[in-house]
Amino acid sequence: MTSLRRFPTGILLGLGLIALSFLLYGRNFLAPPIWDDHYFVQNQSFLRDPWNLLLVLDPRHLFQVLPVSNSARPVWLASVLLDRALLGPSFAALRASSALWHGFGACLLALLAWELTASAPAAILAGVLFTAHPLHAEAVNIVTFRADAVAFVFLVLSLLLHLRARQVERGLPWRLASLASFALALLAKESATALPFLLPLVEWAAPRGRGGRGFSRPRVYAAFAVLLLAYAYFRVPRSGYVNCDGADLFSQWRMSHPGFFAPVSQAAASSHASWAPARELHDPPPWSRDILDPAARVRTMIQLHGDSLRRLFWPHPLQGEYSVRAVRSWGDPAFLASLAAWAVLFGSVLWLRRRRPLLAASLTWIPVSMVPVSGVIWMANLTADRYLYTASAGVCLAISAIAIDPSFGGSGRRARRARLSLGFGIAAVWAVLGAGRLQVFSSDRAFFGETASLDPEAARARLNLAIAQRGIGLFAEAERNFQATLSLWPRSRRAAREYEDFLQSQGRAEEARLLRARVSGDEDP
């Protein structure tokens, strides 16, 4: 990269950002697994045997489905198995590795900022901001959600390789490397599907390539589009969400064309049956029937993503789960506030597109990277902090662009220092906010208790809190949360089953029988 030649302290910057990631998150490395890590990591026997890395890397499993949880994210599986092979069974090692991936992502974003600005201070600021952003706590502290960080690393690497291809005479090897990195990003998590739409943004903001060319030729974009279609074929038969109210797009395609997509690897399934996750119809989300009306869905998603925009710039308060409340009127104040926020963002992009293309491209990065989680395709969770991992890079790039732009406060040295100081001040505030919340990731009780305290209507958080409280003997508190969950989420079979088991364990068999009878009578046909 030209940035490495022009920025000789890049290695030191990278080591500094990785050290900062460890400093921010190291206090929690020894905490026990929480939330999805119980199921997807701790209790998944496949991930306890490092030799299974050879199976994950077997190219045949690009065409046959490996019957394990998260088979749609083989790069994530490989990252965990590699940790097991190199670092042993310690869960602290897995968390430390996640912090390392987060540091790698910050390093690559700093390199991208250098490519776009040719400014060392801007690169440092972008990397520090990204490392410190509190929204990233889920991706670092919960190993299952490391997939977001891994996908981001390969996504930004693909962009850097793409920019390099524009600068050299023989760019084909670099373009092929960029496509390969894009493929790895997709195989880490589907959030990387935003990359083809980010390509023209970085080309718009970057200095012109060889021969004065701004944007790539159509065939370059076509290559990324073809890879995206190939990924869709890979992704469809692997996992998905199905419940009595509907299914996600991948599951719909799989069910409507059962003979077209890849089969399960029968050899693996027969010889290692314990790997295969249990097949169970998912509970319909508490909100699923509230937004069946298309207009209500549009209003609700605009409101939810307006709050996402707020969290990107002011990440406080944060919580593990956000309950969804259907927006039933076009005049709803929260909806109008979100609509206004998005209008300001897009209006700023239009106003800046010629005057400040780097800032305009950075702001556009935010909505473009949110397209995969926009709700256009049905999702079981409509919003989460981890969904904003890639979008937060746009915020960091925008702040860095402002910090070196003389039109914001003047071109003098004092004004430049003031802007940079403000940028690093924002990073410091974010670091303090993140450090203050780190204890939430120390246990299931703390994690779900935070959400239940901030949002008592978050039904799934109340259920998981009840299960955690039951496990440590807080039976009265657990029962209150079980009852609250069934009130908020009466169609949850899991909640009814867990509460029934709780009643049985308390010697209240008759109450458990009555609950089972009531739930059976209320079940959807």
pLDDT by residue (tens digit) across 206-242?
877 555 566 778 888 999 999 999 998 898 888 666 6
pLDDT value at position 246? Answer: 58
- Minimal CA–CA distance to 152: which of 131, 173, 170, 169? 131
pLDDT of the residue at 210: 58
Rounded CA separation 14/297 (Å): 43
pLDDT value for 278: 45
Residues linked to residue 242 through DSSP beta bridges, in sequence order? 247
- pLDDT 10s digits, 79-93: 999 999 999 889 999
Provide the pLDDT for residue 211: 54
- Sign of the CA dihedral running 322, 328, 333, 338: positive
Instruction: Provide the pLDDT for residue 216.
Output: 78
269-308 core/surface letters (b: 16 or more CB in 10 A; e: else): beebeebbeeeeebbbbbebebbeeeeebebbbbbbbbeb
Helices (H), 370-508: 389-403, 413-437, 444-454, 459-471, 475-488, 493-505
pLDDT in tens, 475-519: 999 999 999 999 999 888 899 999 999 999 999 998 888 888 887
pLDDT at site 212: 56
More confident residue, 462 or 265: 462
Domain map (residue ranges) of the chain: 2-263, 294-440, 444-522
Confidence of residue 461 (pLDDT cuts 50, 70, 90): very high
The model carries a pTM of 0.92
Domain 444-522 has CATH 3.40.50.720: no
- Please tell me the predicted confidence (pLDDT) of residue 167: 83
- The pLDDT value recorded for residue 257 is 61
Task: Extract the tokens encoding 412.
Answer: 């003098």
For residue 262, the model assigns a pLDDT of: 62
Are the C-beta atoms of 19 and 96 separated by less than 8 Å?
Answer: no
SS3 for 216-269 is: CCHHHHHHHHHHHHHHHHHHCCCCCCEECCEECHHHHHHHHCCCCCCCECHHHH
What is the per-residue pLDDT across 242-291, written as a single tens digit (0 to 9) for each? 655 555 666 666 666 666 666 665 545 544 445 545 444 567 888 777 88
Which two tokens mark 228?
């995206």
Sign of CA dihedral 141, 142, 144, 147: negative
Three-state secondary-structure class, residue 308: helix
Which residues on adjacent β-strands are paired with residue 247? 242
